[in-house]
């Protein structure tokens, strides 16, 4: 029900919140918003928000919503003037060029596909699972409320389960991250990536500690056997 009451879209200028005021009374919307922000506090912290003008809120209701946002550390964003429509990929490219942080919200299913690597100094935050089709460079951040899959080398900082899900994992073709975080647990990698294997590895929580294991496929097993000889 919460998903129907509140819809969020990531843009260059902040997270656009649309509230379904026709479905329930305003108090329930406030409760749903507080729960969503509380459940994913690390994801939304320091984000910029924009209230969709089509939500049909009164000025008093907007003030109440803004107070909830302030309580959870969000700051007001500014809706830009209408412009020519661009593709989602082009907008994502522009956002990473113009700013350091991009918020991506799942539109369908549970995953968000990021069709390129993430450069140093950039940060991408994803609601849902994140699939990165490239490397994550040192100094880059990827944060997701779900799992993180990197189809390249992960050398930056990755945080899976940012909303507190300890069953999430981080997997990369080559895992040499500066720091890994899963839910509220963190681990630092070695000073260099020489210890990283040339095969996929998976980081997950085991007994409250982040462990890294090879992601076993027939090709991975052959690589491990070869390395052990």
Q: Is residue 85 part of a domain?
A: no
Task: Examine the domain organization and report whether 39 and 145 are in the same domain.
Answer: no
Structural domains counted in the chain: 2
Task: Examine the domain organization and report whether 57 and 155 are in the same domain.
Answer: no
User: How is 112-140 classified by DSSP, letter by letter?
Assistant: EEE-S-B-TT-EEEEESEEEESS-B-TT-
10, pLDDT greater than 80: no
- Domain of residue 210, residue span: 97-228
Q: Do 130 and 124 meet the contact criterion of CB atoms below 8 Å apart? A: yes
Task: Examine the domain organization and report whether 101 and 168 are in the same domain.
Answer: yes
Q: Is residue 83 part of a domain?
A: no
pLDDT digits (tens, 9 = 90+) for 169-191: 999 999 999 899 999 899 876 54
Q: What's the rounded Cα separation, in Å, for the pair 115 and 89?
A: 8
The reported pLDDT for the residue numbered 27 is 93
Task: Examine the domain organization and report whether 111 and 45 are in the same domain.
Answer: no
Task: Examine the domain organization and report whether 151 and 224 are in the same domain.
Answer: yes
Radius of gyration of the chain (CA): 19
74, pLDDT greater than 80: yes
Task: Examine the domain organization and report whether 122 and 191 are in the same domain.
Answer: yes
The reported pLDDT for the residue numbered 181 is 93
> What H or E segment, with its residue span, contains residue 219?
helix 218-228
Q: For residue 45, give both structure tokens.
A: 């912290």
Q: What's the rounded Cα separation, in Å, for the pair 67 and 69?
A: 5
CATH of the domain at 112: 2.160.20.70
Tell me how many degrees the CA angle 14-159-210 measures, rounded to the nearest 5: 165
Q: What is the pTM of this model?
A: 0.65
Q: Do 168 and 150 meet the contact criterion of CB atoms below 8 Å apart? A: no
């Amino acid at each position: 029900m919460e998903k129907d009451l509140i819809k969020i879209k990531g843009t260059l200028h902040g997270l656009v919140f649309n509230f379904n005021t026709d479905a329930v009374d305003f108090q329930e919307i406030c409760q749903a918003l507080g729960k969503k922000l509380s459940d994913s506090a690390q994801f939304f912290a320091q984000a910029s928000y924009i209230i969709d003008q089509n939500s049909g809120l009164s000025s008093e209701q907007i003030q109440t919503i803004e107070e909830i946002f302030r309580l959870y550390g969000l700051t007001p964003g500014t809706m830009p003037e209408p412009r020519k429509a661009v593709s989602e990929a082009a907008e994502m490219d522009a956002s990473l060029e113009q700013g350091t942080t991009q918020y991506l919200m799942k539109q369908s299913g549970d995953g968000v596909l990021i069709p390129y690597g993430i450069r140093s100094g950039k940060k991408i935050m994803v609601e849902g699972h994140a699939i990165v089709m490239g490397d994550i460079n040192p100094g880059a951040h990827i944060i997701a409320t779900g799992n993180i899959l990197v189809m390249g080398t992960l050398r930056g900082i990755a945080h899976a389960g940012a909303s507190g899900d300890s069953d999430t994992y981080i997997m990369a073709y080559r895992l040499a991250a500066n720091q890994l975080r899963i839910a509220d647990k963190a681990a630092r990698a070695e000073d260099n990536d020489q210890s990283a294997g040339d095969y996929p590895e998976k980081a997950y929580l085991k007994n409250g500690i982040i462990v890294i294991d090879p992601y076993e496929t027939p090709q991975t097993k052959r690589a491990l056997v070869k390395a052990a000889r």
